[in-house]
């Protein structure tokens, strides 16, 4: 069999560990020693379950170690402190978590981090060139394309994708191809204006 085994922790041992660890937890108040033993075992367990992961995030190569269940969104926010990417619904329904993977917009909440091995990730933090904002960021400010701002990083990442994909040719087109980004403040008309302006300006996005 030609499988590339990512780690060597058989499931059974993890399951039995969990059972054991629950039993230990029940005794925790009784014995500090047992708590320490459980903690140590948990550390070892976690070590075996993590998968080495290399990503290029906003131009910087990152060598990471993540559990398979960690989403790209949680990796960015929790492990790397890149909190510009927002968690809204966490189920791919709101678009707050939109980032670019190899230049394409995706929902980072539905992408397991380990599945992005070797890929280039761009987040809202990676758009500006030093102090100079990306044209889409400028356009959102100019057109007041937000109110509370929570959906804005996702809107901007998605808007850039929309233009790159060639789907920003009319207001109607933009509304359709931006439908994966929900704005509960209802800034849609201004978001459409911002995208139209960048598209018509012909700047490289």
Partner 1 sequence: MINFEYVKANSAQSASEARIKNGASQFIAGGTNLVDLMKKGITAPERLIDINALPLKEISLTPKGLSIGALVPNSVAADHETVKTKYPLLAMALNAGASAQLRNMATVGGNIMQRTRCSYFYDTTMPCNKRNPGTGCSAVEGYNRMHAIFGASEQCIAVHPSDMCVALAALNATVQVSGTKGTRKIPFADFHRLPADTPQLDTNLQVGELITAVSIPAHSFNKAYYLKVRDRLSYAFALVSVAVALDVKDGMIRSAAIAMGGVAHKPWRLYEVEEFVTGKPISKELFTEAASIAMTGAKTYTHNQYKIKLGKAAIIEALTKASS
Closer residue to partner 1 in complex, CB, 126/154:
154
Site for partner 1 contains 165 (CB under 8 A) = yes
Closer residue to partner 1 in complex, CB, 34/42:
42
Q: Cα–Cα distance between 168 and 132 in angstroms, integer?
A: 24
Site for partner 1 contains 92 (CB under 8 A) = yes
Phi and psi of 176, rounded to 5°? -65, -50
Minimum separation from the CB atom of position 30 to partner 1 (A): 28
Minimum separation from the CB atom of position 36 to partner 1 (A): 23
SS3 state at 26:
helix
Check if the beta carbon of residue 45 is closer than 8 Å to that of residue 9. yes
Judged by CB under 8 A, the residue of 9, 34, 35, 133 near partner 1 is: 9
Q: Cα–Cα distance between 4 and 65 in angstroms, integer?
A: 17
Check if the beta carbon of residue 51 is closer than 8 Å to that of residue 113. no
Site for partner 1 contains 75 (CB under 8 A) = no
Provide DSSP, 151-203.
SHHHHHHHHHHHHHTT--SSHHHHHHHTTT---TT--HHHHHHHHHHHHHHT-
Judged by CB under 8 A, the residue of 41, 150, 175, 188 near partner 1 is: 175
Judged by CB under 8 A, the residue of 80, 82, 107, 160 near partner 1 is: 107
Size of the site for partner 1 (CB under 8 A): 42
Q: Maximum Cα–Cα distance for the chain, whole Å?
A: 69
Judged by CB under 8 A, the residue of 62, 120, 150, 180 near partner 1 is: 180
Instruction: Work out the burial of residue 64: count CB atoms within 10 Å of its CB; fewer than 13 is exposed, 13-18 middle, 19 or more buried.
Output: middle
Site for partner 1 contains 95 (CB under 8 A) = yes
Site for partner 1 contains 136 (CB under 8 A) = no
Instruction: Summarize as ranges the residues that interact with partner 1 (CB under 8 A).
Output: 1-7, 9, 11, 14, 49, 51, 67-69, 71, 90-92, 95, 98, 104-107, 110-112, 114-115, 158, 161-162, 165, 167, 175-181
């Amino acid at each position: 069999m030609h499988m590339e085994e990512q780690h060597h922790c058989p499931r059974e041992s993890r399951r039995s560990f969990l059972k054991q660890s629950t039993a230990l937890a029940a005794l925790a108040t009784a014995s500090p020693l047992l708590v320490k033993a459980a903690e140590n075992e948990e550390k070892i367990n976690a070590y075996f379950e993590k998968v080495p992961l290399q990503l290029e995030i906003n131009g910087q190569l990152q060598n990471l170690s993540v559990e398979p269940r960690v989403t790209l969104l949680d990796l960015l926010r929790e492990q790397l402190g890149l909190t510009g990417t927002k968690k809204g619904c966490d189920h791919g329904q709101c678009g707050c978590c939109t980032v670019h993977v190899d230049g394409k917009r995706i929902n980072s909440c539905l992408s397991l981090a380990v599945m992005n091995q070797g890929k280039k990730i761009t987040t809202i933090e990676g758009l500006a060139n030093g102090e100079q904002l990306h044209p889409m960021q400028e356009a959102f400010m100019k057109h007041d394309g937000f109110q509370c701002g929570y959906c804005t990083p996702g809107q901007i990442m998605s808007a850039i994708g929309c233009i790159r994909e060639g789907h920003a040719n009319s207001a109607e087109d933009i509304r359709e191809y931006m439908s994966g980004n929900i704005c509960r403040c209802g800034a849609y008309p201004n978001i459409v204006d911002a995208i139209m302006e960048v598209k018509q300006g012909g700047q490289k996005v």
